[in-house]
Each structure stands twice: as C-alpha cells, then as structure tokens.
Amino acid sequence: MVNLLRRRVSAGMLALFVAFVALTGCSDDEGESASTTAEPSTTQETDAEETTTTKEAAETSQTTGETDETEIPPWELTAVPYRDRVGETVEIECPPDGEPTTIWGTGTYTDDSSICTAAVHAGLITLEDGGDVSIEVTEGEESYEGSEANGITSTDYGAWDGSFVFTDEP
C-alpha cells in the first residue's frame, strides 16, 4: 500500500513537472534544472477519490449516471442503476459458480447490495448453479437488518436511499 501511494505521488509529481515545463518553456539546456513541487492537497484529493467505500461509489454512480451494466460482472451487479424506477420489476441472470459479494439487509436489501448474492441469501438460487431472479425496485428504508442464511451473511445498515426485494418465491 505504501509503495502504491509512493508511486502515485511520484507519478503526480512527474505530471506536474511535465506540465510546468510545457507551460513555461523551461529546460535544462543551459545547465539549470527546472523543478516544481506539488501541493499536498492535489495528491490527497486524488487518493481520497480512489478509496471510496462501496456505499459512496453507489451514490456517485447514481448521481452521475456513470454505471454501465455491461462492464459489471453479474455477481457484482446492484440495483443502483434502477433506483429511479421504483415499482418496476427487473430480471437478473446469475451465472453458475458465483463469487459472493457484500449485501446489506434481509428480505429488503440496500440497492447497492449484490443482487445475485442476495438471491442466494434469500434461498432463491445457489452459488454453484446460479439462476434467474426478479427484483422489484423499492424506496429506501430507515434501516436494514443483517442475518445469516444459506451460507451468506448480510450486514446491518442504517438509512439508505434505495432498496430492492425479490418477487420470486424461494
């Protein structure tokens, strides 16, 4: 982690140096070396943006509309892109041999929970076999209660802006 941070800082410093040289026309042709220093806040802001939590990333995706379902592996697909479609039913295909990811809630799940993992938790499909499930997009809840079911553990969470429930019967 420290080496990665150092590489990011070094790359940031190099980029600032190159920009500085390009803008000022400075060079070391006359034996002088041009130098510049980066302001710490620039690097810190970049690192902070790259280390958002799952919840923050979901909020960002929802407000910017940057989520592209075609790039998201099926077992990581969430209902965040459908948040503005409350009451609609969405069908999801969960392929076999799934890798479970994080979910919040029981019965009603936060919309940034993995739909396929939540389907296993709800007893609708298995990790091994996968399957097709249908969700209904619902309003957010004031709180979500986690539990353990079908080998999957969901987590408690407070208020969240969007939710989903399964329309299938286990």
Q: Which domains does the chain have, with CATH numbers?
A: 2-50 (no CATH), 54-166 (2.170.130.20)
In our burial notation (b when 16+ CB lie closer than 10 A, e otherwise), range 37-62 reads: eeeeeebeeeeeeeeeeeeeebbebb
Confidence at residue 70, expressed as pLDDT on a 0 to 100 scale = 54
- Confidence (pLDDT) at 17: 44
Report residue 53 as tokens: 């939590």
What pLDDT shows up at residue 169? 79
If the chain, 170 residues long, is cut into consecutive pieces of 10 residues, what is the mean pLDDT of each piece? Answer: 36 43 47 35 31 38 46 91 97 96 98 98 98 97 98 98 92
pLDDT computed for residue 25 by the predictor: 57
pTM comes to 0.60
Q: Residue 85 has what pLDDT?
A: 97
pLDDT value at residue 145 = 98
| Cα(20)–Cα(31) distance, integer angstroms | 18
Reading the block at residue 39, the tokens are 């302001």
